[in-house]
């Protein structure tokens, strides 16, 4: 079995990836408890991680240093996992954004060191990093990824959007959500038209309400992404009163056909499915290099 660790910025990014893989790659969510996940993420007979990598990590948290109002568990944190028809497990991780590289790489090192022990259900793994271009742009976001993550993975100079590199001990890929015209923007630029398509009357009314009443100093006017979030969540309140954006995108939110017809969902799923796994004979060499 193989596993791709998919590092997403926030909760609704995680849900978007899950729904996209379900609609465009036939993936299904792994059910059961953390113990039931494939090892080393779940329970293992290995003496090094008998309770599983995820449970062990949670047990290592010093909760006395966490404020009551903080998100718990703090990012980066494992959120969910889905399995493809080809027996690849996508482990979706809430990473907290592009400024969280140190904590993300600490988690990556923990995973790599655990995997190097061997004897698990998962015998090969890869890492995919998903970011928003924001106002910085596509090229700048990729360059920042190359600099900050190259300190751990090595030469990432050939890393580009929606592509993988095999220069490291494991396959590493980067995917940047952006608008095709300006090369800036966020995932919300793609979610907004999906919501508009699903609920056109609600979306039109929500857009009119937000745009007619927001002031320049309001948070909803701070960026296109914030404006879209305000419109999308307002439009969804008729179906999901009081619920956040992550619920709007989730299984009981947007209809599946929106993901099935979304070019961004298809592009993302293709990127993740195209992980360049090594030939079977090279697995031992990869494990030894970690």
Question: DSSP assignment of the chain, as one string?
Answer: -EEEEEEESSHHHHHHHHHHHHHHH--EEPPS-GGGSPTTTS--S-SSSTT-HHHHHHHH--GGGS-TTS-SSPSSEEEEEEE-TTSEEEEEEE---TT-HHHHHHHHHHHHHHHTT--SS--EEEEEEEEE-BTT-HHHHHHHHHHHHHHHH---TT--BTEEE-SSSS-EEEEEE--TTTS-B-THHHHHHHHHHHSHHHHHHHHHHHHHH--TTSGGGS-HHHHHHHHHHHHHTTTSTT--HHHHHSTTSS-HHHHHT-HHHHHHHHHHHT--PPPGGGHHHHHHH-
pTM equals 0.90
Domains in the chain (CATH in brackets) are 2-185+262-289 (3.40.50.10620), 188-256 (no CATH)
**Could you report the per-residue pLDDT of 99-155, keeping only the tens digit for each?**
889 999 999 999 999 998 888 999 999 999 999 999 999 999 999 999 999 999 999
**Could you report the per-residue pLDDT of 226-264, keeping only the tens digit for each?**
999 999 999 999 888 888 888 888 878 889 999 999 999
């Amino acid at each position: 079995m193989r596993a791709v660790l998919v590092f997403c910025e926030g909760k609704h990014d995680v849900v978007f990836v899950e729904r996209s893989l379900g609609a465009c790659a036939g993936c299904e969510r792994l059910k059961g408890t953390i113990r039931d996940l494939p090892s080393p993420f779940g329970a293992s007979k290995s003496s090094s991680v008998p309770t599983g990598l995820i449970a062990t990590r949670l047990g290592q948290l010093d909760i006395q240093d966490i404020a009551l109002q903080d998100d718990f568990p703090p990012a980066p944190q494992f959120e969910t996992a889905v399995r493809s028809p080809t027996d690849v497990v996508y482990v979706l991780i809430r990473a907290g954004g592009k400024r969280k590289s140190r904590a993300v790489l600490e988690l990556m090192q923990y995973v790599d060191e655990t995997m190097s022990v061997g004897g698990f259900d998962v015998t090969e793994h890869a890492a995919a990093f998903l970011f928003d271009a924001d106002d910085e742009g596509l090229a700048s976001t990729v360059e920042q990824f190359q600099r900050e993550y190259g300190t751990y993975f090595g030469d990432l100079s050939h890393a580009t959007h929606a592509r993988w590199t095999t220069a490291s001990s494991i396959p590493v890929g980067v995917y940047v959500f952006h608008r095709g015209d300006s090369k800036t923007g966020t995932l919300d630029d793609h979610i907004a038209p999906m919501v508009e398509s699903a609920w056109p009357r609600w979306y039109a009314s929500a857009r009119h309400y937000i745009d007619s009443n927001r002031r320049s100093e309001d948070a909803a006017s701070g960026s296109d992404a914030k404006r879209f979030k305000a419109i999308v969540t307002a439009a969804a309140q008729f179906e999901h009163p009081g619920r956040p954006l992550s619920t709007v995108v989730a299984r009981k939110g947007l209809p599946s056909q929106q993901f099935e017809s979304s070019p961004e969902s298809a592009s993302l799923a293709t990127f993740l499915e195209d992980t360049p796994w090594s030939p079977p004979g090279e697995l031992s060499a990869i494990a030894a290099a970690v």
